Structure 1
Amino acid sequence: MGTGFYISKVVGIVGMIVGAGALATIIGLSVVYSQEKAKNDNNNNQVSPTSGGSTAKPPVTTPVPSNELWDKYRLPQTLVPDQYNVTLRPHLTPNATGVYIFEGDTTVEFQCVEATDLILIHSNKLDYKTLENKQWARLTAVNGAIAPSITSSRLQTVTQYLVLHLDGKLVKGQRYRLFMEFIGELSDDLGGFYRSEYFENGLKKVVATTQMQPTDARKAFPCFDEPAMKAIFHITLIHDEGTVALSNSEEKESSPMIIDGKALRKTVFKPTEKMSTYLLAFIVSEFGFINNTIDGVLIRIFARKPAIEAGQGDYALSKTGPILKFFETYYNSSYPLPKSDQIALPDFNAGAMENWGLITYRETALLYDEEYSSNSNKQRIATIIAHELAHMWFGNLVTLRWWNDLWLNEGFASYVEYLGAHEAEPDWNVKDLIVLSDVHRVFAVDALASSHPLSSKEEDIQKPAQISELFDAISYSKGASVLRMLSDFLTEDIFAKGLQTYLKEFQFGNAVYTDLWRHLQTAASGLELPGTVDTIMNTWVLQMGFPVVTINTATGAVSQQHFLLDPDSEVTVPSEFNYEWIVPMRWMKSVGGEQPLTWLDAKSKTFEAMKTTGNNWVLANLDVVGYYRVNYDDANWDRLLNTLSTTHTAIRVINRAQLVDDAFNLARAKIITTVRALDTTKYLSSEREYMPWESAISNLDFFYLMFDRSEVYGPMQDYLRKQVVPLFQHYKTITGNWNTIPTGHMDQYNEVNAISLACKTGHIECQNLATEWFKDWMVTDVNKIHPNLRSTVYCNAIAAGGAAEWDFAWGKFRNATIATEAEKLRTALSCTKQTWLLNRYLEYTLDPEMIRKQDATSTIIYIAGNVVGQPLAWDFMRSRWSYIFNQYGGGSFSFSNLINGVTERFSTEFELQQLRQFKADNSDVGFGSGTLAVDQSIERTIANMKWISENKANVLNWFVAAGKP
């Protein structure tokens, strides 16, 4: 699954959206999907099927013992499905009670592998009671054998089962067919079979669509809803005339039919390949499409008809073919399906979902309009398409056996998305950006004592909420980072070779992550390593965190230790590796250049080659291919800083970004001084490259979080304004006074940084520029602001303005027909300094007519990112938590993002007590996928308090001195 508000991570680079006095960039950590809240009502809700003409037994009222199979979250290994026949009819208009519903029936054919008189099949929020007078459940045996009768049934809502009791045992080795009819609500909760709405020419249109991952196929039809329970699916959709039906496989036939006098259409699809339930998709809409065929594969882009007609699907169509062909070569395997449909949905919680043959997207993740979409919007589309297409093999063709290995599925796609996007846009140099978007981003989470390992034990991941909690930055970004490291030390050729044999062995089946290690080990035969692939990678996969490697260039001594942002925090999770890693080190000397790969496979070792004399310096973790930070002795730090200030181009661009990021985080961990970290920014007045600037801005965001309410704020603004004005003037010059856009991909990003930071730090020329552009739009109703610059210009103009500017932007947001433009406006609306406007905006987040449910979480976080809005967002979240959790727990709210985002600025004893009280007050309500985020927020607040008390005076003095003209 691709990330949402990123959403997760954000796939691609998002421009810095900050106001003059507002907080810096908000980084969405994870994508948390369908959050299933526990039901306390009626664990034994009875439904009464009839079978073979017999009468159903009365409801069972005896309490169910907790050790029964139906009280366990994992299916018993007694029945294995082979194929399903599923027929669904979504109603795109509400019934007499105002509810949208869908009707369906399914026949699942399964084999009995262990004799049993019980059938457990997943079912959640499906209704069988209204069918009590019909034979809604029937069991028959294949090949004429006699099947037991269903004697009673019930819905076990906590574990989400339909429980069917039989009057005899199913026979081992025999095949059976279970037919069931059901009704479900086509709700707007963004999970299972759900409803998305939009307006076209003033008319409301309804889309019936799906999001099954991880555990919501059971909301669409009763099924064995575990990834290892692969089967073939025969899908039939009954839908209104004038609508288009889509599913994973090709359409087989479509014919008109009439039900209760209503003209309908019955569309039957060809059987799918053997696949997991979470990858199913079926959609009914009035969308249009464009198409192309490459080497026999039909590629189609679906979206709202006006979007298709405006050419917004053209970019995605043009890039899907090249990316698909790249992965065919990379995997040495033909695309397994005859078609690749991609569809942009108005309401979608994730960034995208890799349904096999029918990939679903947020509109912002698939649709591109040159007049409205920015450079970062285009990159987001390319990388997300690559992410989802990578899954067509890795995840879909070969599927991990259970969700505890989710990290490998999502981490792999999050790594190779950069390879696929590079193939589509080779001039972007996009592969380097994984360092900023994934490596550095996840370091911040993995450096907490409350982090967790990549791989969990299978028995520890049972409940839907536990599964949802895995969709976080660790699974996506750390997974991507360690796999990139693995590919580097094995070499890309060996990595690809092992991957190819892995896919060939397990195609159409399931695997565990160690199966991949085994194939990589075979491919790496003859390569000299300090251990097996399994031995090396276990140190990165089975324990949380990462090391800081310290190099003493006077002695050649190199050591490692577990890196913690708060060195005083207590790590309560034991590690069989004692927090020691087998570390591959790529490094160089200023005299002598790049050196051979060196392995640190102990707590400490001495490498004579790392000794230096004179002005010669050592730089380790070249291109940040390793998942670790690097510290040096003071003399080597001095030599590196001197090089930055005199000839910074002698150090690679990525490593300049690394030096800044490592230094600030080493200072947070009290390994080096904060003053030393701040010294790495002194050279920035001469820096013109994007990555070092982005690294510095990202790290200085923490200083804004800690000090934008204190006396440090003014001197900090003075210093940063002095550093950024040369960059601002550079872009003013090369763009002809802002009349053109830089040609380079990274340069376009850095122009946004220059304007954003210059305006944020109070550079009058920049602020006037932003407000004048915005006022011109208000007066002429013609938007002349380049799409790349709109986010930062909108934000700064709204921050400087009042109700008139806010209401103008709100009106444009409400009437926006381009999703990327609506996104820019929605974000910028959070930048106002008017408290009453921010409070009103917060209220809008709980009204789907104002803010779509998919956007509610990120909107609240954006508001919390504004120094004026943060306490408002905190009060809002606390006072509404029970409502938010219960009403939005079905998939539209990312609780982990919400809790982390709203509490990120906390740094006082009072805020810590409020946070602890919030945890205590809502223990009965729960936090779902945000449970870990609450503890992380408490840990982060304590660390922030200590950091301020230890650093405030020195930081203030440094900024005062450095900010002088």
Structure 2
Amino acid sequence: MKSFSKARALHFDIVCPLVRAQTLWQIPLTFYTSSVSSVAFHLMKSKEEVLALSEEVSWIKANVNSQGFYRVNYDGDTLRALVTELQAGEEGAQGGAAGFRFSPADRAGLMDDTFHLARQGWVPYGDAFTLSMYMHREEEYLPITVFINHISKMIVQFSFNQQACISRLLREHLWRVLGRQARSERWEEGGSLPAQSRRVRLLDLALRGGLWPEAEQEALRLFHFWMAKDGQHPLPMSLRGLIFRVGVWRGGYAEWIFLLQQYRLSQSGKDQVTMLAALCRTTNHTNILWLLNASLQNHIIKTQDFKVVVDQLAFRPKTNEMLWRFIQQHWDQLVSKFPLGSLYLSDIVTATTSHFNSTQKYDEVYEFFVTQRSLGHLSFVQQSLEMIKLNMRWLQANTKAIQSWLQQTYPVTYSAYPLCKKEVTYRFKWGTTIRFRA
């Protein structure tokens, strides 16, 4: 714990969660303050140190530009002061990020640290979400992508736990703070590499859950025009993956089979991976099973790309269930192609099971690998079981707090969404009160 003080004390922790408690590292601490913008350096050699500041400060921003390999856990008052500074910065930005006092790397680092530490139980999720509210004026790729990544992981967790209400509210939060930026993007090439990456992330966000139907319609129009030109019409290179995905997802068999034909004709390994990932977005179960079988058997789709199919199917509950059944049914064939000790097989299993978060799924994984196959000694089996337990504990510890913050912040969406449980109270004449959850 480090404390900085003059007229007041500011506290934050340097967090190295993977380091054993008895190990003491020297930490090259960099920081600047609300009063002094120049970067100060201090080599931390003990668990607790006190640094004297030359004047009173309201906040300290540590680990400048996230150059140190550690996370910073600010106390509540300091974190709130940092949030206030971000909000003041956005007011000065006049619609952009130019007025922020913190660099894009510092804003991204603060967001990343706060959500990571919230996941570990060090920071209340309410504080992390409150910090993210400033994002509605964020323009830079790095903070935007860090924020989307954290919320997306939560959406996946709650989707696998059949918490449709919370998943919907999380998507609402994403769109409320980033919808303006997404609507400013166009389905065309141009700009710097960070600008192109930002465009892809924001348009990808716009395509989720029907948040912006116009974006989906434009992507589908571009796909059909490309299809009408027999794949010869050039598409924006950085947006091809999104356009292919929408074409398969919103199209039918004709769109899927056309993209498969283009996959077979392509001479570019990179383009083939992009097309294969889009082919996996089909809602047709027969097509999904064909992709799994074809890639495993090295028929049209190379066996080395089986992991591409796995990754695309693993993070959606419905397709993950099909994938999990397929792996169990074809285990012997998988082992014949990818030895038990191979990293490739390990990645296949952990990718498939990493989102499981229920006792039922834990029992299924244990029964198949440990009881039936006697593979409990393998690291990927142990990792899979441990990850499921971690997911279960995370849900148990954080579901109520996350839903509470989202419900209070977006009450209209909560009330309007049919899958959000509503509590109905009945008071009877004899004084008894009974509450029902619909």
C-alpha distance in 1 between matches for 2:384 and 2:146: 23
Q: Is the 8 A contact 2:11 2:74 kept in 1?
A: no
Q: Is the 8 A contact 2:15 2:72 kept in 1?
A: no
- Deviation, 1:560, is 4.3
Q: SS where residue 804 of structure 1 aligns? A: helix
Which letter does structure 2 place at the counterpart of 1:865? F
Which letter does structure 1 place at the counterpart of 2:102? I
C-alpha distance in 2 between matches for 1:844 and 1:926: 29
1:802 equivalenced with 2:252 (yes/no): yes
Tell me which residue corresponds to 1:752: 200
Amino-acid identity (%): 21
Identify the match of residue 671 of structure 1 among 119, 122, 141.
Answer: 122
Tell me which residue corresponds to 2:85: 643
**Structure (1/2) with the larger strand percentage:** 1
- Deviation, 1:913, is 1.4
Q: SS where residue 296 of structure 2 aligns? A: coil
- Deviation, 1:898, is 1.3
Q: Is the 8 A contact 2:207 2:215 kept in 1?
A: yes
Q: Is the 8 A contact 1:675 1:955 kept in 2?
A: yes
C-alpha distance in 1 between matches for 2:373 and 2:386: 18
Q: Is the 8 A contact 1:588 1:595 kept in 2?
A: yes
Identify the match of residue 775 of structure 1 among 218, 224, 240.
Answer: 224
C-alpha distance in 2 between matches for 1:842 and 1:921: 26
Question: What does 1:544-943 correspond to in 2, within 5 Å?
Answer: 554-555=8-9, 559-560=13-14, 562-563=16-17, 578-609=22-53, 612-613=56-57, 616-648=58-90, 649-708=100-159, 709-710=162-163, 711-732=165-186, 738-739=187-188, 741-762=189-210, 763-781=212-230, 782-889=232-339, 894-921=344-371, 923-924=373-374, 931-943=378-390
Which letter does structure 1 place at the counterpart of 2:237? P
CA-to-aligned-CA distance 1:481-527 (integer Å, 9 cap, x gap): xxxxxxxxxxxxxxxxxxxxxxxxxxxxxxxxxxxxxxxxxxxxxxx
Larger displacement relative to structure 2 (770-779 or 633-642):
770-779
C-alpha distance in 2 between matches for 1:561 and 1:961: 31
CA-to-aligned-CA distance 1:453-478 (integer Å, 9 cap, x gap): xxxxxxxxxxxxxxxxxxxxxxxxxx
Tell me which residue corresponds to 2:391: 944
- Deviation, 1:578, is 0.8
Structure 1 pair 618/774, CA: closer, same or farther in 2 (3 Å)?
Answer: same
- Deviation, 1:597, is 1.5
C-alpha distance in 1 between matches for 2:399 and 2:105: 30
- Deviation, 1:892, is 8.3
Q: Is the 8 A contact 1:795 1:829 kept in 2?
A: yes
Structure 1 pair 920/552, CA: closer, same or farther in 2 (3 Å)?
Answer: farther
Q: SS where residue 662 of structure 1 aligns? A: helix
- Deviation, 1:593, is 1.4
Which letter does structure 2 place at the counterpart of 1:707? F
Question: What does 1:238-317 correspond to in 2, within 5 Å?
Answer: none
C-alpha distance in 1 between matches for 2:14 and 2:202: 37
CA-to-aligned-CA distance 1:619-676 (integer Å, 9 cap, x gap): 1111111111101111110011122223152111011111111111111111111121
Give the aligned CA root-mean-square deviation in angstroms. 2.5
- Deviation, 1:824, is 0.7
Which letter does structure 1 place at the counterpart of 2:75? D
Tell me which residue corresponds to 2:96: none
Question: What does 1:34-45 correspond to in 2, within 5 Å?
Answer: none
Q: SS where residue 831 of structure 1 aligns? A: coil
Q: SS where residue 699 of structure 1 aligns? A: helix
- Deviation, 1:858, is 2.5
Which letter does structure 2 place at the counterpart of 1:953? K
Q: Is the 8 A contact 1:555 1:611 kept in 2?
A: no
Which letter does structure 1 place at the counterpart of 2:139? R
C-alpha distance in 1 between matches for 2:219 and 2:12: 50
Q: Is the 8 A contact 1:724 1:758 kept in 2?
A: no
Q: Is the 8 A contact 2:117 2:123 kept in 1?
A: yes
C-alpha distance in 2 between matches for 1:550 and 1:834: 56
Tell me which residue corresponds to 1:958: 405
Structure 1 pair 595/818, CA: closer, same or farther in 2 (3 Å)?
Answer: closer
CA-to-aligned-CA distance 1:781-807 (integer Å, 9 cap, x gap): 243421100112212332223322222
C-alpha distance in 2 between matches for 1:911 and 1:612: 54
Q: SS where residue 72 of structure 2 aligns? A: strand
Q: SS where residue 785 of structure 1 aligns? A: coil
Q: SS where residue 318 of structure 2 aligns? A: coil
**Structure (1/2) with the larger helix percentage:** 2
Query: How many equivalent pairs are there?
Result: 396
- Deviation, 1:891, is 9.7
Question: What does 1:315-714 correspond to in 2, within 5 Å?
Answer: 554-555=8-9, 559-560=13-14, 562-563=16-17, 578-609=22-53, 612-613=56-57, 616-648=58-90, 649-708=100-159, 709-710=162-163, 711-714=165-168
Structure 1 pair 957/559, CA: closer, same or farther in 2 (3 Å)?
Answer: closer
Higher relative contact order, chain-length normalized (CA < 8 Å, sep 6+): 1
Q: Is the 8 A contact 1:558 1:604 kept in 2?
A: no
CA-to-aligned-CA distance 1:557-576 (integer Å, 9 cap, x gap): 56545526xxxxxx9xxx5x
C-alpha distance in 1 between matches for 2:261 and 2:2: 55
Tell me which residue corresponds to 2:95: none
Which letter does structure 2 place at the counterpart of 1:779? A
C-alpha distance in 2 between matches for 1:864 and 1:858: 10
Q: SS where residue 845 of structure 1 aligns? A: helix
Q: Is the 8 A contact 1:896 1:933 kept in 2?
A: yes
- Deviation, 1:610, is 9.3
C-alpha distance in 2 between matches for 1:798 and 1:610: 61
C-alpha distance in 2 between matches for 1:654 and 1:901: 29
Which letter does structure 2 place at the counterpart of 1:719? H
C-alpha distance in 2 between matches for 1:680 and 1:765: 30
C-alpha distance in 1 between matches for 2:347 and 2:353: 10
Tell me which residue corresponds to 1:94: none
Structure 1 pair 588/752, CA: closer, same or farther in 2 (3 Å)?
Answer: same
Structure 1 pair 803/784, CA: closer, same or farther in 2 (3 Å)?
Answer: same
Structure 1 pair 818/579, CA: closer, same or farther in 2 (3 Å)?
Answer: same
Structure 1 pair 744/612, CA: closer, same or farther in 2 (3 Å)?
Answer: farther
CA-to-aligned-CA distance 1:164-222 (integer Å, 9 cap, x gap): xxxxxxxxxxxxxxxxxxxxxxxxxxxxxxxxxxxxxxxxxxxxxxxxxxxxxxxxxxx
Structure 1 pair 882/591, CA: closer, same or farther in 2 (3 Å)?
Answer: same
Q: SS where residue 593 of structure 1 aligns? A: coil
- Deviation, 1:779, is 2.3
Which letter does structure 2 place at the counterpart of 1:744? S
Q: Is the 8 A contact 1:589 1:618 kept in 2?
A: yes
Q: Which segments of 5 or more consecutive residues in structure 2 lack a partner in the other structure?
A: 91-99, 414-438
